[in-house]
């Protein structure tokens, strides 16, 4: 990975934020809901499995259901039940915002422009943000229903760039997962990776920068020359 200080003064007109794991601490809840659901049918979902099949490839472990003889219609129904378990966890959670993120968004105060590019469904995004103050900070939110090919495909970020009407070199993405980084890079974006407990050991060698905490992220963004 190149030293990001060499590019700190590149034009920055917009930030595109991932949601789960970046704005909110929900990747852990999704892992827990998935592990409990799969465990009930005899499938052990490890943290390494979650990183490989969910955070790198975004394919889940439904292939193991097929190996057990489940039909495609049964898998669709199982996915719906797993998603319902996750929704219940979101509703029961007392606070989902990643500490420091609401304050960082307020400090940025609309400069640069900001949008959300998430693999979450609109329903899950709405539940997550129902009591959070972040949505007014964003010009738009792109959820899974609004594009055909999810991350790691670049389509979500290409759609966001089209919404902004800006070239990728004037924007930056903030991600936490390997598939998010791959999608951002494939769209021509610089990408800052904010590490989480689930991805802390992963080698994000293609990231523009790696940060371990929200204060580090805030400091890096503050150092970058924003369009004011």
Which positions ≥6 away from 63 have C-beta within 8 Å? Answer: none
pLDDT in tens, 76-132: 999 899 999 999 999 998 889 999 999 999 999 878 999 999 999 999 999 999 999
Q: What is the DSSP string of 164-188?
A: HT--GGGEEEEE-SHHHHHHHHHTT
pTM, full prediction: 0.89
Q: Which two tokens stand for residue 41?
A: 């049918």
pLDDT of amino acid 188? 98
Mean pLDDT of 166-190: 97
pLDDT of amino acid 224? 84
pLDDT of amino acid 11? 77
- Single out the residue of 153, 121, 117 nearest to residue 138, CA to CA: 117
pLDDT-derived band at 145 (thresholds 50, 70, 90) equals very high
pLDDT-derived band at 228 (thresholds 50, 70, 90) equals very low
pLDDT of amino acid 54? 87
Mean pLDDT of 11-22: 95
Q: DSSP state, 216?
A: H
Say which CATH superfamily domain 4-25+96-223 falls into.
HAD superfamily/HAD-like (3.40.50.1000)
Q: What is the dihedral of CA 52, 58, 59, 61, to 10 degrees?
A: 50
Q: Can you say how many angstroms the Cα of residue 204 is from the centroid of all Cα atoms in its chain? A: 15
Question: How many Å apart are CA 190 and CA 194, to the nearest integer?
Answer: 13
Question: How many Å apart are CA 75 and CA 169, to the nearest integer?
Answer: 41
Q: Above 80 in pLDDT, residue 67?
A: yes
Contact 128, 90 (CB under 8 A): yes
pLDDT of amino acid 102? 97
Mean pLDDT of 189-211: 94
Task: Considering only residues 70 and 216, tell me which one the structure prediction assigns the higher pLDDT.
Answer: 216
Domain ranges in the chain? 4-25+96-223, 27-92
pLDDT of amino acid 2? 47
């Amino acid at each position: 990975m190149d030293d990001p200080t060499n590019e700190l003064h590149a034009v920055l007109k917009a930030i595109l934020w991932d949601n789960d794991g970046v704005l909110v601490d929900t990747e852990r809840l999704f892992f827990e809901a998935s592990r409990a659901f799969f465990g009930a049918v005899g499938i052990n979902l490890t943290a390494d499995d979650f990183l490989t099949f969910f955070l790198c490839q975004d394919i889940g472990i439904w292939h193991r259901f097929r190996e057990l003889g489940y039909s495609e219609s049964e898998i669709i129904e199982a996915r719906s039940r797993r998603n319902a378990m996750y929704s219940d966890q979101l509703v029961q959670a007392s606070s989902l915002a990643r500490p420091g993120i609401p304050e960082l968004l307020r400090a940025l105060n609309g400069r640069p422009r900001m949008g959300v590019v998430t693999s979450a469904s609109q329903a899950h995004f709405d539940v997550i943000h129902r009591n959070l103050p972040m949505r007014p900070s964003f010009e738009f939110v792109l959820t899974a229903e609004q594009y055909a090919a999810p991350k790691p495909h670049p389509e979500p970020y290409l759609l966001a760039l089209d919404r902004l009407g800006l070239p990728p070199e004037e924007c930056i993405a903030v991600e936490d997962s390997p598939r998010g980084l791959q999608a951002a890079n494939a769209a021509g974006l610089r990408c800052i990776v904010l590490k989480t407990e689930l991805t802390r050991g992963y080698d994000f060698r293609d990231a523009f920068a790696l940060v371990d905490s929200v204060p580090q992220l805030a400091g890096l963004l503050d150092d970058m020359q924003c369009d004011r």
